[in-house]
Amino acid sequence: MKSLRKVMAMGMAAVLCAATMTGCEYAVNTSNSEGGKTYKIGVLQYADHPSLDNCREGFKQGLEEEGINYEFTAQSAKGDDATNTQIAQQFVAQGVDLVCGIATPSAQACYNAAYEVKIPVIFNAVSDPVAAKLATSETEAMEGITGVSDMLPVDEQLKLIREMLPDAKKIGILYTTSEANSVSTIESYKEKVGEYGFELVEKGITNAAEIPQAVDLLVSEVDCISNMTDNTVVANLPVLIEKATAKNIPVFGSEEEQVGNGCIASAGIDYIELGKKAGVMAARVLKGEDITTIPYETMTESKITINTDAAEKIGVTIPQSITDRAEVKNAPSEQ
């Protein structure tokens, strides 16, 4: 009876998601590889912003590099938790061979939906898998799930900010209190800011509607802002950039796409490469490797990206010592 109720619940969830498809992003892609089994893969992306989009594209590239034939269904929860759960349950009801959850909330939803029916889950862009209860430890995977972490290189970011702003004292961070990845990264900042002579000022929000007021408070208290990979904040980055720019407060991103969208610089990771690592890991599982023997990996390589236009706009001079080793990513010119 319990099993029957579970199947019925999954069916209802699938109907619900189909009924609300206007809130989801749906696409089917088939790989160009020839020969071998074609696997059905569901990808659930928590929100629509360039970092997570790059994860999805990199994931496909990783699968293709490993010669995996696939039918690829990708949907976005648009930052809505109920939709997030419904889509994960829908994938399970469809009987996919593997699911990938991009960002912590989606990885958690996929694992909750897929665990009992033993569909393997690969997570991507999860900052702290242990805190999110998606891994036992850095060296021990949980049953049925593994993936790739995008834990931010906080030390490298703080070094960059100090080098660019030698007189800055207070760093501001805006984050969503319900996102485990953000809470974990905030703790890392708290541990490290003092080593670089900074004081941390944090503002927590519960939803996107609170962002404008929180930013107004933040820019009145800090010398600069360091943005994280918080999904709610990144999806509303233009609000943060506009308000900070109006007060000549520099905003540092956590990866290159945020820099291209108006942050002045970042010492972050490459999300295409992050996605590729997850795709290769998924291929290992589809080829028969036991997922419980594959601990999660953490992306450790970082690179410096700068937006010279954004820096000039607020009167910040980027030192030559930074420009010599940085990639420039300015916003596209308006036609």
Phi-psi category of residue 163: left, alpha or beta, with phi > 0 → left and psi -120 to 50 → alpha: alpha
Best mean pLDDT range from 17-21, 30-34, 316-320: 316-320
Share of the chain above pLDDT 70, in %: 88
pLDDT band at 30 (very low <50, low <70, confident <90, very high): low
pTM across the whole model: 0.80
Residues 262 and 240: their CA atoms lie apart, in Å, by: 10
Residue 19: pLDDT over 60: no
User: Stretch 266-272: mean pLDDT, rounded?
Assistant: 92
Q: What angle do CA 119, 120, 121 make, to 5 degrees?
A: 120
Q: Name the amino acid, one letter, at 24.
A: C
Residue 163: pLDDT over 90: yes
Residues in a beta bridge with 298: 149
Averaged confidence pLDDT in the chain: 89
Cβ–Cβ contacts within 10 Å for residue 206, how many? 10
Residue 44: pLDDT over 50: yes
Residue 10: pLDDT over 90: no
What pLDDT, on a 0 to 100 scale, did the predictor assign at position 64? Answer: 96
**What is the spatial order of strands in the sheet that 170-176 belongs to?**
199-205, 170-176, 224-226, 251-252, 265-268, 303-306, 327-328
Residues in a beta bridge with 161: none
pLDDT band at 36 (very low <50, low <70, confident <90, very high): confident
Please, which residues have CB within 8 angstroms of residue 138's CB and are 6 or more apart in sequence? 130, 295, 296, 298
Residue 294: pLDDT over 80: yes
Residue 33: pLDDT over 70: no
* 313 to 12, 177, 181, 262, 309: CA distances (angstroms): 52, 31, 31, 10, 6
Point out the least confidently predicted range of 29-38, 85-94, 169-178: 29-38
Residue 311: pLDDT over 90: yes
Residue 331: pLDDT over 90: no
195-251 pLDDT, tens digit per residue, is: 999 999 999 999 999 999 999 999 999 999 999 989 899 999 999 999 999 999 999
pLDDT band at 50 (very low <50, low <70, confident <90, very high): confident
Residue 291: pLDDT over 90: yes
pLDDT band at 31 (very low <50, low <70, confident <90, very high): low
What pLDDT, on a 0 to 100 scale, did the predictor assign at position 28? Answer: 45
Cβ–Cβ contacts within 10 Å for residue 328, how many? 13
159 exposure class (CB count in 10 Å sphere: 0-12, 13-18, 19+): middle
pLDDT band at 332 (very low <50, low <70, confident <90, very high): low
- Reduced to 3 states (helix: H, G, I; strand: E, B; else coil), residue 190 is helix
Residues 266 and 156: their CA atoms lie apart, in Å, by: 9
Q: To which residue do tokens 């820096």 refer?
A: 311
| Strands 27-30 and 69-76, bridge-based pairing | antiparallel
Residue 284: pLDDT over 60: yes
